[in-house]
Chain A
Amino acid sequence: MRTAWIVYKKEITEILRDRRTLMAIGLAALATPIVLGVISQVATKTATQEYTIGYAGDVPTGLDGLLRATSLKLVPVSDPAAAAARQVDIGVAFKPGEIDEYYDPSRQSAQIADTRLRTVLGQYSAAQAAAALQQRGIDPGILTPVRIVAHPLSSPIQAASNAFLSFFLPYILITMILTGGFSAALDSSAGERERRTLESLLLTPAPRSRILLGKIGAITTISLVAAVAAIGSMFVALAQISLPRESGIGHFTLSPVAVPVMVWVAILIAVSFSAVTLALGTLAKTFRQGQAYVTPLYFITIFPASIILFIPDFNPSLAYYLIPILNAVLVLRDAIVHNAVEWPTLVVTSISLVATGALAWYAALRLFTREALLTRS
């Protein structure tokens, strides 16, 4: 292993002197707080933004106060339907015992205003009905013959925070591991051919498998440093920003189970990605050609993370945990949301990721020992 260690030290030295890689890590650390800051701003703005209702007719007594309290501004218009098309967010015609609502569902502002209006009207109607019943000496409780008494088994605020983390954390972890080691991997493979150092390297008696191991180790280290920088800055940013109360998200903490699972999965992904990017980089003659080969990997990794966003309750069979990256996302989600590890899924995930890394390493080794590697360059 002496050879691997020599190559590892040299690669790390070169990487630390490479502006491209350092910039990638710096951007990784900066990008997450910026994205979270923007999300926070947008969410806060959406929650506190005032929407306009163009109305005609007489506003029922007391309703205007409720609408103002929920940031719905009433503006008199002659034709609510025409006004709803562009002038205001929604149009309302107040008639005796009826309210006609006009809105364009393709506009997000109309959707939000509609939701708020329905909520307010529901509360208003319930209050009116309760008052009418009380006037007649009837208990308003008859309006809700079956009451729901909720007993949440965990804090709903923490659950919302965990749901947010279960999407965001795997996404950041995986993309940053890939992008953090991207430049280093290409520099270490395609870069060797481009600089014409490959021939000299292969002329040494050092076993090529050990040379590759050293390179994979260095790329893995840099990938993990980038991921740690990104996740560290993410938690710092999450502690600083404030999301609106309506989002139901409170403070962000990782459970004791999630931390070791995240570290283990991160190491496995980093090793696999390093081997895969090194193998793809070895196919390329130049750094730029290597970029073209490796870039699709970025898109492949986004899909599994997106599954959690679009299907939060996705509960696949054990076989799904054989799919690299998807398995990592699912295991991390389980650890973050449920604060638990299902050992069979973790074992299958580990086997799958180790096998992926080993296959990629073998492919890189085969490519590294091909004569075409030298004769084509």
Chain B
Amino acid sequence: MTEAAVVVERLEKTLGKNKVLRGISFSAQPGEIFGLLGPNGAGKTTTLRIICTLLSPDSGRVEVLGFDTRTAPQEVRKRVGVVTADIGIYPRLSARENIAYFAQLSGVPDADLKRRVDAVIERLDVNSFADQRAESLSSGQKQKLAIARAIVHDPQVLMFDEPTSNLDVLASREVREFMVESKERGKCVIFSTHVMHDAERLCDRLAILHQGQVVASGSTAEVRGARRDLEDAFLELVGVK
């Protein structure tokens, strides 16, 4: 097995009076899609936010490509790209300007900026609306823009937090295809979702979170076991079935 891109060990986190994470551990490899599954409130988003250094853990440890999130957060951020369901983009900037802004803030040198932005625009087929103001884009176009913004600095780790929850069928499929393509390029993709069907199709390995704990982990086939599908396994593991 190759060296893990993301290592999460005994992660604990309390937000307000809620103990959101209760000792979560897992690791994700380069060239795989790792699924974080769980019902709402299971701790998926909090886990991702800790990995990308937006939150710090109360205890436990997270390493991204060998960099500790507590001691080297800047190095971690340089190597991580995040796409969420909340497509936050600057409405008065064009799609191209949005991408360029995040590229610059992510440390892409000025000499390389145009080439990198153009490459991402080409790769995600953003050309047709690249110079439109973001406020005039459709939801699918905005999500493409959010992905472009997240990958413009060519991060080794990509995290998708419920990326298709506000999208139509076509746009959702494009996002899924992009995740697979990223995996094939050797990126470590962490995919947080509560859509079991998507997880079963896309994930190489996964962890099921429930009430802040990992209740099952392993390859998708291992977690499914003898059950009919992943949904059945999930419902059984979280105690519904």
Q: Is the CB of A203 within 8 A of B80?
A: yes
**Hey, what's the 0/1 contact readout for A182-209 against B, CB within 8 Å counting as 1?**
0000000000000111111111111100
Q: A195: which B residues are within 8 A, CB to CB?
A: 88-91
Bound complex: CA of A6 vs CA of B80, how far in Å?
21
B210 within 8 A of A: no
Residue in contact with A197 in the complex, picked from B78, B80, B89, CB distance below 8 Å: B89
Q: A18: which B residues are within 8 A, CB to CB?
A: 92
Q: A197: which B residues are within 8 A, CB to CB?
A: 88-90
Q: B226: which A residues are within 8 A, CB to CB?
A: none
List B residues 150-197 near A (Cβ within 8 Å): 150
Q: Is the CB of A198 within 8 A of B88?
A: yes
Q: Is the CB of B86 within 8 A of A205?
A: no
A14 within 8 A of B: yes
**A156 → chain B closest CB, angstroms:** 53
Q: Is chain A's binding surface mostly helix, strand, loop or mixed? A: helix
**Hey, what's the 0/1 contact readout for A230-269 against B, CB within 8 Å counting as 1?**
0000000000000000000000000000000000000000
Bound complex: CA of A205 vs CA of B108, how far in Å?
11
Q: Is the CB of B77 within 8 A of A199?
A: no
Q: B143: which A residues are within 8 A, CB to CB?
A: none
List A residues 269-292 near B (Cβ within 8 Å): none
A107 within 8 A of B: no
Bound complex: CA of A17 vs CA of B133, how far in Å?
10
Interface size band for A: 20 to 34
Q: Is the CB of B77 within 8 A of A200?
A: no
Q: A204: which B residues are within 8 A, CB to CB?
A: 77, 102, 105-106
Contacts A3-B105, A13-B93, A13-B97 given; does A200 touch B80 at CB 8 Å: no
**A211 → chain B closest CB, angstroms:** 8
Q: A211: which B residues are within 8 A, CB to CB?
A: 105
User: Which residue of the partner chain B has the closest CB to A6?
Assistant: B104
A323 within 8 A of B: no
Contacts A203-B52, A203-B54 given; does A6 touch B88 at CB 8 Å: no
**A333 → chain B closest CB, angstroms:** 40
Contacts A203-B77, A203-B82, A205-B106 given; does A374 touch B55 at CB 8 Å: yes
Q: B84: which A residues are within 8 A, CB to CB?
A: 199
A375 within 8 A of B: yes
Chain B contact residues, CB within 8 Å of chain A? 15-16, 49, 52-56, 74-75, 77-78, 80, 82, 84, 86-93, 97, 101-102, 104-107, 133, 146, 149-150
Interface CB pairs A-B, < 8 A, 28: A6-B101, A6-B104, A7-B105, A10-B93, A14-B92, A17-B133, A195-B88, A195-B89, A195-B90, A195-B91, A196-B87, A198-B88, A199-B54, A200-B82, A200-B89, A201-B105, A203-B80, A203-B82, A204-B77, A204-B102, A204-B106, A205-B78, A205-B106, A206-B106, A371-B54, A374-B49, A374-B54, A375-B15
Chain A contact residues, CB within 8 Å of chain B? 3, 6-7, 10, 13-14, 17-18, 195-207, 211, 371, 374-375
- 14 additional contacts (CB under 8 A) given A196-B88, A204-B105: A7-B105, A10-B90, A17-B133, A18-B92, A197-B89, A200-B150, A202-B54, A203-B52, A203-B54, A205-B106, A206-B106, A207-B74, A371-B55, A375-B55
